[in-house]
Amino acid sequence: MILVFGRTGQVARELAHLAPGAVFLGREGADLADPDACAAAIAAHAPRAVINAAAWTAVDRAETEEALATLINGTAPGAMARECAARAIPFVHISTDYVFDGSGTRPWRPDDPTGPISAYGRSKLAGERAVRAAGGAHAILRTSWVFSAHGANFVKTMLRLGAERDALRIVADQVGGPTPAADIAAACLGLLRGLEKDPDTAGTYHFAGAPDVSWAGFACEIFAQAGLRVAVEEIAAAQYPTPARRPLNSRLDCAALEIRFGITRPDWRKGLVQVLAQLAAERS
Residue 120 annotated to the active site: yes
Strands in the chain per DSSP E = 2-5, 23-25, 49-52, 91-96, 138-143, 146-147, 167-171, 175-176, 179-180, 203-206, 213-214, 231-235, 249-250
Rg (the chain; Cα; Å): 18
* DSSP character at residue 74: I
How many CB atoms are closer than 10 A to CB 151?
A: 16
| Amino acid sitting at position 267 | D
CB distance 2 to 20 below 8 Å: no
Paired residues of 232 in beta bridges: 168
The answer to whether the Cα torsion of 183, 146, 102, 219 is positive or negative is positive
H-helix segments, 176-228: 181-197, 215-226
The answer to whether the Cα torsion of 95, 153, 70, 25 is positive or negative is negative
Of the candidates 178, 182, 170, 137, the residue with the CA atom closest to the CA atom of residue 278: 182
The answer to whether the Cα torsion of 104, 107, 113, 116 is positive or negative is positive
Catalytic annotation, pick one of 98, 120, 205, 240: 120
Q: Which residues are catalytic?
A: 120
